[in-house]
Structures are given as C-alpha cells and as structure tokens.
Structure 1
C-alpha cells in the first residue's frame, strides 16, 4: 500500500518533536536579524539592499524597522534576544552598550571604515578598538528656503514634535549656534560633559536662538510645539508637505538636516547655516553631522561579514541604486558612491558641502550625550520655547547641570556613560 506524502510528512514531524529536534536539524543557519530606524520608502530600499547582499553568502538577512528603536532594542536585550546587527544614531547609547560588553568589536575591513567623527575609537577593558561603522550620514548646519526668498529678514519655520523625542529640532538649533559662536574645541568639551551647562557661552547660544526666532504669538508657539518637524499632510492626507508648505506656518526659512529633502521638490534651495547664526567667520567651514551606525550584537561571524558588506563601496552603491531620489543615502567622503550623474541639484549641493567644502565636522551633541542627559535637554528646549524668559532659562540650565552632576555622582568609577572625547574631525587632506 502506498502511503500519502502528507502522512509521511506528519510522521516525520512527530518523530522530530518526540526527539526534541535531535537528528532533525537542518544545516541551514538561522536568518541574521538587522534592527534599524528606517520605515516606509527608506526601510523598503534598505530591505531590498539586504536581499541583494545575501546573494552567495548562504545566509538570509531579515530587517526589522521601527521608529521606537531604543525601546525595541532594550526590550530585546532584556529578553536575551538582541538582533545580530542594530543600526543606531546615538554615540551615547552605543558607548554604553560597548562598555557594558553588549557589542562585539568590529573585525576586518569594517573596522577600517569607522570614519571620524561618526565612529571614534573606544577604550573598553584597556583596549582601544572600533565598535561601530557609519552606514548612512546626514549633514546638519543647513538652512532651507524657496529660491526667491530673501535672506535679509528670514522668518523661521519651527516644528518641534517628534513623538517620544520631541524637542530635538530645537537642540539642533542650540548646538549649531554654539558650534559657530565658540568653535569645535569648546563644542566638543561641552558635548562630552566637560563644560557646565550654566556657562555664559552656553547660555548665550540659547538666548541667540530666542532672538533669531523673534516674537511669537501664543498660537504660533503652540502650533510649533504640536506640529511634527515633517510638517502637515497634503490635501489628500497621503504625504507630508514640509513646514515651508504647511498652512499656518507663515515662514520663509527652515533650519534642518539634509534628510528633509524628501519633503520638498525642486523649488527649494539649501545653504550653509553659518551666515544665519550670529557666529564667528572663522567657524563658517564647520558643520554639525549625524549618522546611522551599524554595530554587532551577536557572536555569529555572519554579523561581522554583513556589516563589512554593508559598509563597502559596493554595498553603498547597491543601496543608492535601490533607493528613490528623495531617500538616497549620503556617505562620508571616503566611502565612495558619490551622487555622480544625479539629476537632483539639491542632493549634489549637499554632497559638495559634506565632502568638499566642510573643513571640520562635529557629531550631533545631544546624540553624543548619555540618554538621560539627552532626554533632559530635549525637555528643556520645549520649556524654553514656550517661555524664553531669562529667569526660566537660568532655572532650566541649573536643572541640566544638576542632571550632569548627579550622573557624575551615580556613575563614579563606571565609565559606561562617558562618551569618547573626539567627536569633531578635520576634513582637510
């Protein structure tokens, strides 16, 4: 009698279950899991890149994209089930994970691609090593406007909403002003906890921001506090339209990172922010940057290989090829895959600023700070924006200094929350 193939399969599965899997395991390894911040079109492009990169490796790559990256990663680590690779934008968080032995040092060519200032070397257990590599970078210190808008008396678009991280567009303002007023050395010491928050130079950056924004009505302030940095939706409710196009925002200029180019068409221009920030001319060639860095959380050798492939010139070019014009990634100048032949003049201009004209790049200060201090900075910016009085500012800066002091007290002898010192890097040569 011939047995049904379905009965044979069922018998095989029962045997496997009874044997608790012994003798039934396949030779195929588990998929490598990558946790990252990109969703929507960005996430789809990165997922397609992973599919292209797994060719010939014998491994399958699975991508999990989330806007709640820190919360998701912490939950997975608490469950003792971290991803093989995670992509984070916070040096403060990465430093904490590395010094608590949650990360694996990079190996091979990936370690050579730990470009400054995105991936400074870190001393852990008395060894100086590289723990993450920038995959995608963003240029900050930019101002967006319509091509015909006058720069003589700009009115500023401000949208501070961003779910759990609301306030970061305001911290970007203060960081950028401080960088251009005081220069990279002072900025670096402040961002890494070696300058007090109530220092007069730091306070001056906050008051400069308030003065540049000018007088605002209560309705305007509330609108900025409750509106996303992405602006409103188009009439159909299907796509974001950018703050320059959002009804109710009577503004001509926007201080924002390079990534917002996906919100606008070809009728905008982008300029270095230095001329708008009441800074010193000698600091005009200094730019603030951000980045999305890949770190290895597992002992699987395939995770190291994946980061090496992603960070290679070939991997970056594949990513650009998979991404649409509005979400094409930018890379450090040493990483290849420049937007040659791109028909987008805004993208070409940003790439020129990042790779050719910038003399010094400094990493986003709040993303260098320990998460506790970074979050307090975000909240203080929201309070100051609502009421930029001098007395309020003094109180807020005292509170931030108290957070810094308390962290020094709580973690004395524990360097897990101490960021690396070198977060600015010369781009000469």
Structure 2
C-alpha cells in the first residue's frame, strides 16, 4: 500500500471517529448498537409494583433487551396523554376491556402472536372483530376474584353492618358499582348480566333497578355523617399511626362488621384475623346463581411494532414468567392467575389465599368479567358518578332519574360506535365451568 493510500485511510478513520463523537454529543445513544429498553406501563405501585418490576428484570435471559416499568394509579390518564403525544408505551397493562376494545377499534393495539393468544383465557380476554378479522388483542397477566365478603373472625354474619369507602385516587365510586354488579349477577343470572354489561339491556329494566334497590336495602339507613364519611374515605380504610392503611374493618369511627371487596384487599388485612366468604351467602333467594362469581383482571396489550414487545407479553404470560413474579411477591400481594396449570402449589399460602384460589380455580361454576370494566369508558364513568349520587340520596325518584341518564348515555355510545360492520365488541363476558 502506497504512503498516499495509507494517509487517505488514516484520514478517513479519523474523520469517522470525529463524526461519531459529534453525533453522540448531539444525539446520545444514536451510535449505540444497544436497543432502548421496552417501556411497560401498568397499574401496580408500592409492594405490588416492586414485585412486578423485580420479575420483569429477571425476564432478561440473554435476549438483549431490558425493560422499564412505569407504575401509576392514574393509568388511563397517563396512557391517554402518551397516545396524544404519539409516544405510547410498548406494552400497557389495563383492567378495563372496555378501554382495550376502544383502543383496538382505533387501531392503537397490535393483535397478539398466536402463541400468546393461546393464553387469552375467558372471560378475561374475548376475541374482537376488527377490520372484519377476529383476533386476540390482550391476555390476562393477573386476575382477581370478586363476589367476596370480608369480616373479622368470630363476628356473627346474621346481621352485618356494612363497611363502605367509596373514594379512590383514580376514580371514586367503583366499590359501589362492584356491589350493584354482584347483586345483579346473582339475582338475574349470567345471561341477563352479560346483556346489561355489553350494552344490550335498558338501564330501566326491572332487573337493573332491583339490583340498585337491593343494595340500598342491604346497607340500611345511614346518617348524613355516615354517608359523608363513606364518600370521602378510601376503599383501603384510614391510615394507622404508621401511615399504612388499616382496612375499613379496623378503621376507627366506622363500627362496621363486614366488607364487600375483591380478593386484592387481602394485602390490607395481612396478619389480621379475618375470614372471607362468598357474597351470595348474604343475599336471599339465589339458589340458581349462587355459584356465579364476578372477576377482574389486569390485561397486557401491545402498543408497539417492536417484535420484542410481543415476545415480552409472551414471556410474562408464560408459566415461567408467572413463577418468577409469584416468587418475588410477598404473600399479601402474591398474584392470582387465570389458570394455575404448570405452577407448583405455594407451600406458604395462608388459609385466606387458599380459600380464594379454591373458589377461583375449582368451586366457581360461572365466572363473569367485571361489568363496569367491560363497558365503554364514557358509560362506565357515568355509572361511577351515579352510584355516588344514589348513595347520598337513595330515593325512588332519584334512582329513576339516574337510570334515565344512564340509558341516554348507553344509547348515545351505541350510536357512536355501532355503525361499523367490520367491528364488533365483545358479546360474551361470562364463562361456564360446568358442574
């Protein structure tokens, strides 16, 4: 090689190095071969968030990708703002199939790979018809059993005094809608419940009205001070001297004996002497639908075209991913899964966890997804507000007005979303398990 050639090559190499330094200064990371971390947006904070994040980090088994978890109690607002800024997360975990359905209809979600779609357990992940193609758009990662009543051990159950905290950091009112949904499911049955939850039943139907009036009768007469306390107290109860929530059963000033709440509330009562029972035991005349239970879930959906996002959801929903997550979680926040097949039993499970797991996986004959979480967000939010108003004024005249308002919104939502023949929302949110 001639001296001139060697000189030219050296100049070229120096020039490339110089340009690389300049680019790195202007655009950090642009010259790196390491891909950016995948962003996962989810609802878990505190110990739940820590356990999930720890499991997420352990999923990096030589794949070359890392993951960043963003946990927030204001999940919907955060995701909406990110979508408006055209900066969505790679994966988001939501508990509302009503919201997920709307994102799929608007083309924001990516259909799941077939291997992952096999874990779209019913009733948490119904398929959707989008652009005339029926596909799976989300998969449940963690689930919860509702239709439960909590009480202190030794407390008589023949005349319960109901705890109720309706406030929530994100959206208040949902502990009340949980009550009405559960009552309607047990009184009217899964078929009528499904028609109502999926927008095919008039809110003024006698079965719907009966659920509201039954709730008011169960709660009994309440003083204005008691009503105000329930409207302004969190569903987690009041904090103790250590700043941690004590649960409504242990909160001073309530004097209540029983609480209607989902399985997740067990983290508040960790170490307390409590028991859990099916809510049907507290409703009369329900022999046919006694073994029906309402459930909720946290579903993972892909918002990114990055193939690694699909791979992440597949790994999170796999038996190995579940086992990592469960191993990282403390017993009070240990996740429940829609199908425990392939996972060894948890030796340290306490009696409460064992009871809930038994109901969810074997004793429940019908599982129905949370009705308000299946509704379009506009209708769900009006439902939340209506419950708060009815709790303050449970008169027949006020209920009639509220149900008329809800029916108006149902019709309007149906008119706005029902004109596209290539799209169909979920029509079945219950699963019969026989027996």
Give the TM bin, normalised by the shorter chain: over 0.9
d(CA) in 1 for partners of 2:389, 2:342: 42
Change (3 A) 1:382 1:23: closer
d(CA) in 1 for partners of 2:25, 2:350: 60
> In 2, are the aligned partners of 1:145 and 1:254 still within 8 Å (CA)?
yes
d(CA) in 2 for partners of 1:419, 1:338: 36
Q: Deviations over 1:341-396 (max 9, x none)?
A: 12411011100000010011000000000000000000000000001000000000
Using the TM superposition, give the Cα deviation of residue 418 of structure 1 relative to its aligned residue in structure 2, in angstroms: 6.1
Equivalent residue for 1:405, pick from 411, 414, 417: 411
d(CA) in 2 for partners of 1:227, 1:23: 47
RMSD: 2.0
Larger CA deviation: 112-121 vs 163-172: 163-172
1:259 aligns with: 264
> In 2, are the aligned partners of 1:157 and 1:254 still within 8 Å (CA)?
yes
2:126 aligns with: 120
Using the TM superposition, give the Cα deviation of residue 409 of structure 1 relative to its aligned residue in structure 2, in angstroms: 2.9
Equivalent residue for 2:362, pick from 327, 342, 356: 356
Equivalent residue for 1:89, pick from 84, 88, 95: 95
2:400 aligns with: 394
> In 2, are the aligned partners of 1:35 and 1:86 still within 8 Å (CA)?
yes
Change (3 A) 1:381 1:335: farther
SS in 1 for 2:275: strand
SS in 2 for 1:165: coil
Structure label with greater radius of gyration:
2
1:28-427 matched pairs, under 5 angstroms: 28-236=34-242, 238-264=243-269, 265-337=271-343, 339-414=345-420, 419-427=425-433
d(CA) in 1 for partners of 2:162, 2:259: 6
SS in 1 for 2:159: coil
d(CA) in 1 for partners of 2:19, 2:392: 63
TM-score w.r.t. structure 2 length?
A: 0.92
Using the TM superposition, give the Cα deviation of residue 239 of structure 1 relative to its aligned residue in structure 2, in angstroms: 0.8
> In 2, are the aligned partners of 1:361 and 1:424 still within 8 Å (CA)?
yes
d(CA) in 1 for partners of 2:75, 2:18: 40
TM-score w.r.t. structure 1 length?
A: 0.94
Change (3 A) 1:161 1:23: closer
SS in 2 for 1:292: strand
Larger CA deviation: 339-348 vs 325-334: 339-348
Which sections of structure 1, spanning at least 5 residues, go unmatched?
Answer: 1-7
d(CA) in 2 for partners of 1:18, 1:184: 60
d(CA) in 2 for partners of 1:269, 1:12: 69
SS in 1 for 2:204: coil
Change (3 A) 1:13 1:33: farther
